[in-house]
Structure formats: C-alpha cells, structure tokens
Amino acid sequence: MGLSNVQKEKGAIWAWFPVTCLTAIFCCVLWGSASPAIKIAYKLFQIGPDDTASRIMLAGARFMLAGLMTIVFGSVLARKLLIPKKESWKSILTLSLVQTVGQYYFFFMALANTSGVRGSIINASGNFIAILFAAFIFRFEKMTLRKMAGCLVGMAGILLILGGGQALMAGGRVTLAGEGAMLMADFFYAASGCLIKIFSRSENPVTLSGYQFMIGGLILFAVGALMGGHLIFYTSGCVLNMLYMGFISAGAYTLWGVLLKYNPVSRVSILGFINPVMGVLLSALFLGEGKEAFSLTGLLALLLVSAGIIIVNTSKKTTG
C-alpha cells in the first residue's frame, strides 16, 4: 500500500532511502549489542551464572528504564504525553507478561549460559517462529512457498550453530539453560509480535510498548527482590551500562516504528538481516569471541540465518 501525500510530506526525510537504511542499521546495531551489553553487565554487577534472582532484578531494572525512555521518546515525537486508553490496560498487562516477563526471563538466563555469538544467531530464530505463528496460529497471513523456504534456510543456520542434528541427539554443546532458554525466549518473542499486531488496532504501538516495558520490568524486579536478589551499582560503569541497556530497547523500538510509519513494511523489515550480523560482530569485538564468530561454522550459520530473513521479507512486488 502506498503512503499518503500527507505522510510523505511530513516524514519525507524518513522515507528517503539513505536515511531509512542508515537508521535501520543503527537500530540493528543497538539490538545486536544487547547480547554483549548484558554479558558485560553480569561482570559489572558481579552476577554469577547461578544467581537467578539478581539476574531477574537486572532485567527488571533495564525494562523499567526502557519503558520510561520509550514513553518520553514517543511523547516527544507525538508532541503530546502518551497515556493509554482505559480499555488498553488489559492488553498492556497481557503484553508485559508475554513480551517482557516471559521473553526476557529466558533471554537473560540464556546469556548467562551461552556465548554472545551463539545467542545472537539463535535469537534470530524468532523471525521464523513469528512467521509460523502468524500463519498457523493467529492466521494473519498465508504461508507461501517463499516464506517456508526462508524459514527452512534460516532454521538450517540455527541447527548448524547448535552443532547439527547429530550433536543435538547426543546432547553435546547444547544446554537447556543456554541454547534451550534462548529458543524459549524466541517463542515468547513470536507470540508477542502477533499480540502487538492485534492490540495496536486500538492503541498506539509505542504507548503499548512503553507501558508494557515498565510494568513487565516492575514485575521482574519485584520477583527478583523477593527471591533474595541484589543489584549493586559498584562503579559508574554500572550506571552507564544500565542507561545503555535501557536505550537499546527504547531507542531502537521508537526509531524502527518511525521507519515503518513512513516506509513500506517490506523496505524496512528486509533490513532486519543486519541484526544477527551486528550481534555476532559486536560479540566478537567486546566479548573476545572472534574465534567462534569467524569460524567456518559461525560464518555459514550467520549467512543462512541472514539469507532466511531476507527471503521471508522479500515481496514479489516492489513497493515504492
């Protein structure tokens, strides 16, 4: 569907392809940096892999901050304070339990028990699970041969980074608390994406996201505290890390939403293949995981996952 003349005029800069491309890359850099940022946070806040309570508190603090930032950024762009409709609070609570509590409980668990490279590649499976959910459970769209081919190519990359079918059967390098938890997070991600599509019919998606981030973060923080967790800001690095982790979700989500508003969905979503690429590169750079990132298996898995994302988001018709 084409853009209205008003939208084109008001958002001309966002519809200009160089700006669209650079902004999408910036968003993917932010999302891709999530894995190394969280693993660095575990060191800064001195949270061990077995300290589940403190890990949950960290996730909660991040998303309370992300929610606040999202509401502020969204309000500035909308030139008014974003306040949910009275009837939207049920949707916000549902979304907070699925997207923030469910997804990030497993996401933070996974990154305490697997490498940033493996986590970034496996996390991309959410793109393919979302297609299956949309087609077979929520029935938003039809499954086509192109989409199925993209899912199969992408999941082949996931299988490869997990060690292949033989390794999975032997229970080698794969653990439930690591790779298994990341796959579980991707199921919650896929379900939340479909719920956002439903709930945003009657509510601004930025409003939904900001308030569900805050509520979900509050729930996670409270649960972690009740479990006996701790969150101590030992140095200024802890403060900077927390601010950055909050900005990852708030900044990327807000900018991506602007791009989707002023561009055809296919033009923006196809650039999502950069996300796992950035996750792998930044994990190699900041976590010293270059050997795994640039191994033949790592590169081939990343290529397959990225190709899968491009295939499922490539339209038969080119929209302007």
For each successive 10 residues of the chain (320 residues), what is the average pLDDT? 47 81 92 95 95 96 97 92 94 96 96 93 91 88 89 92 58 77 94 88 89 97 97 96 96 85 76 90 94 92 93 63
- Inter-CA distances, 100 with 107, 191, 231, 274, Å: 10, 12, 19, 23
The pLDDT of residue 11: 54
For residue 260, give both structure tokens.
């989707």
Q: What is the pTM of this model?
A: 0.87
Domain chopping of the chain, boundaries: 5-312
Measured CA to CA in angstroms, residue 187 lies from 1, 119, 150, 193, 299 at distances of 29, 14, 18, 10, 24
Distance of CA 55 to the CA centre of its chain: 18
pLDDT at position 320 is 41
Tokens read off for 125: 């499976």
Q: What is the pLDDT of residue 233?
A: 97
Q: Which of 316, 306, 4 is nearest to 128 (CA)?
A: 306
pLDDT of residue 167: 47
- Model pLDDT, residue 281: 94
What pLDDT score does 193 carry?
86
CA atoms of 277 and 192, how far apart (whole Å): 23
